[in-house]
Structure 1
Amino acid sequence: EIYEVELLDRLIRIKSIIGRGDDYKKIAGVIEEELRKLGLKVNVFDGSVEAKDGIPRPCIVGVLDSGSEKTFGVLTHYDVVDIGGAWRYEPFELTVVEEGGEIRLYGRGAADDKGCIVASIGAIKEMIEKDLEPKWNVALIITPDEEIGGEFGAGYIARNRLVDLDALLVADSSSKSLVVGASGIVHGDIVVKGIQGHAGYIFGTENAVHKAITLLNEMLNFTTIRSQKLSRVKTSECPIPRLWGRFSITKVNTPNQAYNIVPDEVVIGFDMRLIPEENVEDALVELKAFFEMVKYRTGIYDAHLRILRAFPGWMTAEEHPFVRRSHEILEEVTNKSLPITGMLGGNDGGWFKDFKIPIISFGVWDEKSRIHGVDESVSLARIFDLKKFIIKLALSEVEF
């Protein structure tokens, strides 16, 4: 029986869907027990102290103390998105399938990010059992809420400096490159007000949707402004060679339950992506200034912005010694020539931006993984690659 497969099965059976506090506690308990069995120094910090919404958010920090003056962090998350449509396999049980010459493991969270959790714990277990001598202390940081920005997960750990780090691997990305930067994220709503009435007799009403169409037509010009922000960080498999700023309208909702009501409100959700170098506050000021000018140009003043979350991106210079050594090790482990790139999406690495330490990201996803989709899966070989990468990195001395 393979340790990582058995542990992954136990983790996937726990439905740690975003915001389910009881399941957060359950999965955190399993992980804490595993780390204590290995003899790690374990602390559990609860982000609900800051969230104040009654939802437990246990954040686990387990440290393998090698006596080094330097600590290398491995950051993962245990929350998952909901299952969506019909699956071929039971989403909350691990299904092992041999296909295409490889073993694939199916289940929600197999690739994002429970496969990375078991790879990191498996790495610690192997170092202990083989009496290996890491050159770093290794801190496993395993948190909730990454799928909704991580403010009270990894963000809680970072803001309160609950762990000391000299370098960080965010084990939550593709296995097809070494990631040295990720996008920042702003999520929010544009709320447009009107006057409700009967759709059969429209006089005296103000249709909030009609007003929103005019407003949004102008707001779409912001996509061009955002696209002109270019990062130094490269992309892969993308027509634009470097990370760039983005702005997308992603949701439209009215309170209407019937077709014959002129809506008095429409809420339009948006997703804005920041380049890694970008300051969140500066980006918000730019967005708000553009929005106010759109209101002025259209004459639609019954509208306001509502920012729901805003998180920074992160980046490490490609030339940094930690990046260079990590890249060498990764190519040794995978026996592949892998590019150094940035992520179009974001991950929890941004919370540690102010630590002023080198941050990299590597994970277990591949082109078959279907993260966030039905029939999510991970290759067992990718779990072993990440495990070996963590071990070799922990055994390497890197001066910077």
Structure 2
Amino acid sequence: MIEINTESVSKKGYEKCASLIVEEAERDSLDVEIADGEKGAKDGLSRPNVIVTFDAGSDTTLLLESHFDIVPPGPNWTYPPFKLTVKDGKAFGRGTADNKSGIVAAIGAMRQLEKEKLDINLRLIAGVDEEIGGRYGADYVLSDYGLEGDAALVLDAGQERLYLGASGIIWGKIIVEGKQGHAGYPFKAKNAIYEAMKLLAALEPYKTAVEKKESILHAPPEAPRRFVWGRYTVTMVKAGEKENVIPGTCEVRFDRRLLPEEPVEQAEKELRGFFKRAVKKTGCRASLEITNKQQGYHTPKDLVFVQTVSENVKKTIGQSLPFAAELGGNDGSFFAKNGIPVVCYGTIREDTHHHGVDEFVYLEDIRNTRDLIVNLGKVAREKIV
């Protein structure tokens, strides 16, 4: 899988990678089906979400989820990003940790359980498009294709904590209007960049208010704060054509991270209120467009399923893990949206450089994740629901 470039925007390697997963699953006599998100997107770009099922004939199903799309590798890798390099107990390559190793662990677990008589079914969603929001990946599989399950283990986290939630998101675009002109005659123009700077400065109280928000869930171990908190970050600024032209428009993009339990509609209303006040204060001509939003989620720790996963993590790795929530988002929100309790665990440790140069995964973590799934597969159905 690492040799196949499955970058999520072009999607050029999706079908090849999906075929490889299908071939591997069928070699183990597992049931396979494809839920193609293109049927929802209707843009001619295939999005083959692969569903692999270990059918125990039970009325209870544990869903497993991982994704095979990746972000572009970028330059300056020590090891080739699209060639698997194994060294000193680590496997290097783009997508090793995030998130192709989760697929390997899940199918490996099903292979080990092949001759076992289980009380629950196991069903893996090897999804796509997670890195760009997941609407036609896991969301399509659950909300449109109609795949059902009783609980979900999302294999898109690290092994330092057991994750019971993830942050929601609001992505937005601000267009600031000025008046285009020649740089030699600035008095005849209104520079949209300067206007945008004034507006962003006026939005600083919003940033402060957001950062005061604090979740009931602990943050990951690498975080500077004990509990998950709100975050607002300007991430893109686009303006201008050439050095001697004063730009008439400036586009600003931002990322707002919500608390796992924070309602996304309430957060959007708050954002629009701060934006309206900033525009009034500065006199800028500006518009706000929400380009994407996703509700975060929070799984209560006293659920039977959560306790079952926690117990089996201890059985697998020999220690209990504290509960936490992820600072980023993941596909778990789509399970929660459909009323399916979610726990996250996996191979993406803090130091694995996921999304960065020389991404790698610890081979031991793939084995641990596989063994956790094996142990969960052997539990009684009453331990899932």
The TM-score, its normalising length taken from structure 2, stands at: 0.96
Structure 1's consecutive aligned runs of 4 or more residues displaced over 4 angstroms after TM superposition are none
Structure 1: runs of 5 or more not aligned: 1-10
- Give the equivalent residue in structure 2 for 1:336: 319
State which of 296, 306, 326 in structure 2 corresponds to 1:313. 296
Paired residue type of 2:82: F
* Offset of residue 322 of structure 1: 1.1
- Give the equivalent residue in structure 2 for 1:5: none
- Give the equivalent residue in structure 1 for 2:67: 77
For residues 355-378 of structure 1, what are the alpha-carbon distances to aligned partners after superposition, in whole Å with 9 as ceiling and x for unaligned? 222200001022431111111111
Aligned residues of 1:19 and 1:55 also touching (Cα < 8 A)? no
Deviates more, 1:106-115 or 1:289-298: 289-298
* Offset of residue 171 of structure 1: 0.4
User: Matches of 2:17 and 2:244 in 1, distance apart?
Assistant: 47
- Give the equivalent residue in structure 1 for 2:225: 240
User: Matches of 1:245 and 1:203 in 2, distance apart?
Assistant: 41
- Give the equivalent residue in structure 1 for 2:84: 94
State which of 223, 235, 246 in structure 2 corresponds to 1:250. 235
- Give the equivalent residue in structure 1 for 2:214: 230
- SS of the residue aligned with 1:12? coil
User: Matches of 1:380 and 1:227 in 2, distance apart?
Assistant: 37
5 Å-filtered alignment, 1:1-400, equals: 11-98=1-88, 103-128=89-114, 131-160=115-144, 162-237=146-221, 238-254=223-239, 256-300=240-284, 302-397=285-380, 398=383, 400=385
* Offset of residue 236 of structure 1: 3.2
* Offset of residue 162 of structure 1: 2.3
The count of corresponding residues between Structure 1 and Structure 2 is 382
Aligned residues of 2:150 and 2:384 also touching (Cα < 8 A)? no
For residues 53-94 of structure 1, what are the alpha-carbon distances to aligned partners after superposition, in whole Å with 9 as ceiling and x for unaligned? 322111111211111111100010000111112111111010
Structure 2: runs of 5 or more not aligned: none
Aligned residues of 2:173 and 2:289 also touching (Cα < 8 A)? yes
User: Matches of 2:351 and 2:338 in 1, distance apart?
Assistant: 34
Paired residue type of 2:72: D
* Offset of residue 248 of structure 1: 0.9
Aligned residues of 1:14 and 1:23 also touching (Cα < 8 A)? yes
* Offset of residue 257 of structure 1: 3.2
User: Matches of 2:81 and 2:74 in 1, distance apart?
Assistant: 10
- SS of the residue aligned with 1:232? strand
CA RMSD for the aligned pairs?
1.4
Paired residue type of 1:241: R
- SS of the residue aligned with 1:203? helix
- SS of the residue aligned with 1:112? helix
